A and B are shown apart, each in its own frame.
Chain A
Amino acid sequence: MIHNSRRGRMLAIAAVATLALGVTAACSSSDNSGGSSASGGSSAAAEPITITVQTFGGGKNFGYKEAVDKWNASHTDIKIKNDNLTDQFEQVYWPQMIQWLQSGAGAGDVVGIDEGGMGLAKAHPEWWADLGELGLQNRKSDFADWKWQNGVTADGKLFGLGTDIGGMSLCYRKDLFEKAGLPSDRDEVSKLWPTWDDFVKVGEKFQSKVKDTKFVDGTNTLYNVVLVQEAAKNGNVSYFDTSNNLIVDKNPAVKSAYDFAVKISQDGLTAKLRNFTDEWKTGMKKSQFATLGCPSWMLGVVSGDDAAGPELKGKWDVAAVPGGGGNWGGSWLAVPKQSKHPKEAAQVLDYLTGKDAQVSVFTYAGNMPSNTQAQQDPAVQSTKNEYFNNAPIGDIFAKSASSLQPVFLGVKHAQVKNAVESVISALDDGSVPYAQAWQKLVDDAVKAAG
């Protein structure tokens, strides 16, 4: 009997160990979100080659829908399939993409990269096909010098061409401004807030009249707007200096943007929603906030069906941003080396970053083209956005496009940005006290960069 019970115990212990083993081993691989797309397809003569274009972003994301439809209608040999994987770049898209690139399988034939990922992408020439070899070297004249240079790897190989750029505006709800007794015409609204201090004053006035809608969405969006504006005044750097040293605690731009986030949060102007979450999008639908920092690509996010959607068409409008312009966001397209059809992929990339496609992107979604020919195209210059009460977005974005300054972003920018923005949201939702928030921001940034 004694024997038996001991043996039973040993068995039980062994069973526990085995179960635990299995589970720990399994949990490391439980993070497979999104679908990896099978690129290519058979390249038999009759079968068209399918080029998968992987993008990210909410709403109309990269704005390629019309351009892709047009291509597919007129091409029988190459078909474009646009897979928009997620609306979260730093959290979901980029980590997944890095794994695909590193492991040599899973990435599309053409992939979109946000500015925040370009530092890392440039440092890994082995991930990318050489677009120069594929005949795209002659596209140099289509882009501002900085946009072109950022698509060149550390060893001088062209790997990415620009698609959109930031540009900056402030979106606001015309109907809610009227409700608060504020002017609602876009020119008059622009005059209300030459500076961010004025903006806060307008917000306080708005908040005193309207109770169930907050003035801004949360801290995160405007934090980023102010950060890029301030970065332009501080040598065009944000979290890293140009030699990739972390300067979160030293760069006055970060502190100014942080202070502004604290101010609007303490003033009670925020709906305490973190941008790009489901609650944020629902909040847009349910009119929980009246203004939103709007880089050009944000227009497509707002007007998308999962965000403000068709019911609010014509109620949003676009005004000038306080504090002058700014360049937040903007993306590139690249061809991973693992693509089975690099030549065709380069052709598609050439088309999507070309003038005609980029003009259609702007008129369809509102993302400002980085292609200078598209910027100067009369169709772009005269574009009005129907969703935003026919706002002359060509006028608002295209005129400032040529003067945009690039902000330098380090190799680990995406990770640090993610850590910092968590704190910026946490101080707003109350989970980190204001008094401790700055220290936590710096600490978490150091950890993320390490």
Chain B
Amino acid sequence: MSLHVGAGPTTRSPAPPPRRHSRTRTSRSFLSWLDLKAAPYFLISPYYLLFLLFGLFPLGFTLYYSLFDYDLTGTVKWAGLGNFASLLDDSAFWNAVVNTLGMFVIATVPQLLLALLLANALNKRIRGRLFVRLGVLLPLVTSVVAVAVVFTQLFGRDWGLVNWVLGWFGADPVSWKTERLPSWLAISSMIDWRWTGYNAIIFLAGMQTIPKDLYEAAAIDGASRRRQFWQITIPMLRPTMIFVVLNSTIGGLTLFAEPTTFYNGNVHGGTNSQFQTVSMFIVEQGFREFDYGYASAAAWLLFLMILVGSLINFMLIRRIGGNK
């Protein structure tokens, strides 16, 4: 667009005097600068404007209010770092942190391993490859809440399918919503059911960018399939892995919908907060007890937690297959 506008005046001005000529030249170079340097920024600006409005601004706003005693239905009082201090001393907050990390580990580690194996299998020549590949993505299409509602029924104490099956093997019914570890397992199974296929497809995409001749050369050298997997596929997948692990870290640490639905939409996360995550804690503080300042401070601690967790994982993954 700007190119046309710039072209207009120059072609239309006949025999321009020297002074004007130089002015046209500067305006022309300005327009071409605008076109080459500024236009790209203009074109990508919608995202950043939206990010500014819905990402950065709330973040700053949250930081601001984390320094206040802000009761939604009452007063706003300066508190300094008081909210952060009492958070670090709040056993309910630490309980939520432990729950979040626990469920993250239980859900993510098997999920990514499974996704990797699945992707490896899908990468082979198998019959009906397209359908199988689409099939693993299918759980992603269902809404989180629908998944959670169904799984909540499956994991019912008295009438759930899982306990019924366990009963065949003579096991006592498990109280999935009141015991800590079983509740984590139940929630992790929801996450894995939904996201394993998604991650497998991303791994698969990564695997398909690995040049085939590497495998051929390795095969000629007599490397087994297993060796090829560990020595070629895994190291070459590193960039993909970084993406998948970071994505899972962020998703896992902000877990909210599954555990909330698991307890009737109650953000307390079980009668004794057995599976209350940090996100749920934030909502409970902010929108149940109306302690906005406290919730804001907790949101910031969660943000820092995600930052640290992501960096740790990032560095771990970089080590995979040797840092070449």
A interface residues (Cβ-Cβ under 8 A, vs B): 12-13, 15-28, 30-31, 33, 88, 91-92, 95, 98-99, 102, 120, 123-124, 272, 274, 277-279, 282-283, 286, 288, 415, 418, 422-423, 425-426, 429-432, 447-448
Contacts and interface: CB of A to CB of B under 8 A. Distances in A.
A422 B177 CA distance: 13
A27 B286 CA distance: 12
A222 to B, nearest CB: 16
Contact of B288 (A15, A124, A286, A415): A415
Contacts of B114: none
Given A33-B265, A120-B73, A278-B264, A16 B311 contact: yes
B175 interface: yes
B274 interface: yes
A22 B55 contact: yes
B152 to A, nearest CB: 8
Interface in B171-222: 175, 177-180
Determine the main DSSP class of B at the interface with A: helix
Closest 8 A-B residue pairs measured CB to CB?
A: A426-B271, A431-B272, A429-B178, A24-B303, A426-B272, A425-B271, A20-B306, A16-B310
B289 A20 contact: no
Interface of B: 51, 54-56, 58-59, 62, 72-73, 92, 152, 156-159, 175, 177-180, 242, 246-247, 250-251, 254, 256-257, 264-268, 270-272, 274, 279, 282-283, 286-290, 295, 299-300, 302-303, 306-307, 310-311, 314
B178 A28 contact: no
A24 B279 CA distance: 9
B265 A431 contact: no
B311 A91 contact: no
B265 A91 contact: yes
Contact of B158 (A25, A120, A286): A286
A278 B262 CA distance: 10
Contact of A423 (B271, B274, B295): B271
A321 to B, nearest CB: 25
Contacts of B271: 274, 422-423, 425-426, 429, 431-432
A30 B306 contact: no
Contacts of A24: 59, 254, 299-300, 302-303, 306
Given A27-B279, A429-B271, A88 B265 contact: yes
A432 B271 CA distance: 9
Contacts of A448: 289
A111 to B, nearest CB: 16
B254 A31 contact: no
A31 B73 contact: no
A23 B306 contact: yes
Contacts of B256: 27, 30
A421 to B, nearest CB: 9
A91 B266 contact: yes
